[in-house]
Amino acid sequence: MASSHTVLMRLVASAYSIAQKAGTIVRCVIAEGDLGIVQKTSATDLQTKADRLVQMSICSSLARKFPKLTIIGEEDLPPGEVD
């Protein structure tokens, strides 16, 4: 049980720092003024540059720290786009 608790605590701590980085990415994209909006599946299903960059950052950070973790993201990026 202690092992599960330790992993959970590491995951929560990592999630906090990863979210901080994601916020920085969003602010930078907004400051640039080009949101890079594209249509995903329909005219009402849009995706911004920030959406793509944040998901790539979150997925790659989690994959590096927790290689066995299954990650499901909203933006459906191809596996090759996550480093």
Residue 5 zone, left/alpha/beta (φ > 0; ψ -120 to 50; rest): alpha
What does the buried/exposed string (b/e) look like for 58-76 if buried means 16 or more CB atoms within 10 Å of the residue's CB?
bbebbeeeeeeeeeeeebe
C-alpha–C-alpha distance, residues 58 and 43, integer Å:
26
Return the pLDDT at 15: 95
| CA separation for the pair 51, 26 (Å, rounded) | 8
Ranges of the chain with pLDDT below 50: 1, 83
Domains, the chain, in order of start with CATH, read: 2-75 (3.30.540.10)
74 is in an annotated binding site: yes
What is residue 14's predicted lDDT score, i.e. its pLDDT?
96
